[in-house]
Structure 1
Amino acid sequence: MSNTNYILGSFADPDEMMYGIDKLQANNISIYDCFTPMPIHGIEAKLGVKPSRLPIAAFCFGTLGFLLGFSLLYYTMAYDWPMNIGGKPSLPLPNFVPVTFEVTILICALGMVATFFFRNHLFPGRTPRVMDLRASDDRFVIAIDARENTDHAFIDSLLKESGAVEVKYNERKYVSYE
């Protein structure tokens, strides 16, 4: 077995890359991922990417923020130090709305940022996961798992027929910027 982990087809034009995806999928070759310097409309559907579960995380963080905000107000205003201010009740729910809303938004926003960094492996000090350095500049790259697809010559010819500028055989999983 070879040491090649990925076959990388580098394209200069996004339309050629989309044609390459169609050609590879027509020949039952599974694509690991595509790397592009800009968003391309329709590529997620073509690759079969599942919808993001980020809204579920946002709801969970928002619920946590609501519970924390309401609990803080309840504890301070009704449980720990109840005060009779002008004969008003010690648990005035309408007065809790602004603070609870703000804490909900704060916890949801901070939680979403943390989830985004965690999900995309953007920890401080971590080497970025980049297959080909030109993919963030001016190339559109299709990465094919070489261990699943064993006919490398056939894949190479399909990529070149569909307009690939170059085809690389990547032996390491990720390339670092250093």
Structure 2
Amino acid sequence: MDTNQKYLVGIYEDEDEVLHAVSEVRGKGVKIEEVYTPFPIHGLDVALGHPRTRIPKAAFLFGLTGLTCALSLISYTMVFDWPMIIGGKDAFALPDWIPVSFEGTVLFTAFGMVFTFLASNGLWPGKEPRLFDLRGTDDKFIMAVNLGSNRLSENEIESVLKESGAIEVNVKQF
């Protein structure tokens, strides 16, 4: 979302209405920027046409990085830097390294996913929040339509939103 953008904001009262409205509005050729809800709605991401998330692949890569770092650190310290014979075991005792390797994997995955989530959602320190309507955090469902990315006029989009069940349609500029 760029600065100085003009949006039409449709406000809905019910999650079934907004889910049905998304299909209806998209069917009439209106590109919806986003829908904001006070709680998750099953199937809304599919109705909006969002692609499947790549978060599991990122988690796997972070975990693999953590496992590699943990095994590298343990093998360097226990085999090359300061080899010690503990309990008569070999310095390269892979089964003994499993708990530390698991913890390194979990640590890297957890921190990596937090930073990935914050970066992908644009939630960095000092970022100004974009609230289309304060009621969207309480009990209303907000559909934001960017007027700059649609071919239809403002009045046509407003009538499409009202026909789809919006109780209120507002103009918001950022």
CA distance in 2, matches of 1:39, 1:97: 38
Per the alignment, residue 133 of structure 2 pairs with 132
Total equivalences in the alignment: 170
Runs of 4+ in 1 over 6 A off after TM superposition: none
Within 2, Cα distance between the matches of 1:38 and 1:86? 55
Give, in angstroms, the shift of residue 170 of structure 1. Answer: 1.4
Q: Aligned equivalents of 1:79 and 1:131: distance in 2?
A: 59
Task: Report the residue type matching 2:74 in the other structure.
Answer: L
Write the mapping of 1:77-156 to structure 2, written as runs, cut at 5 A: 77-149=78-150, 150-156=152-158
What TM-score results when the alignment is normalised by the length of structure 2?
0.89
CA contact (8 A) 1:4 1:169 kept: no
CA RMSD, aligned part only?
Answer: 1.7
Q: Identity over the aligned pairs, expressed in percent?
A: 44
How many angstroms apart in 1 are the aligned matches of 2:76 and 2:51?
42
Please give the per-residue CA displacement for 1:23-66, whole angstroms capped at 9, x wherever unaligned.
21221111111111111111111111111111111111101110
Match of 1:66 in 2: 67
Can you give the 5+ residue segments of structure 1 that lack an aligned partner in the other structure? 173-178
TM-score (norm 1): 0.88
Paired residue for 1:20? Answer: 21
- Note the residue ranges of structure 2 that are not aligned, 5 or more in a row: none
Q: CA deviation at 1:86?
A: 4.9
- In structure 2, distance between residues paired with 1:142 and 1:133: 13
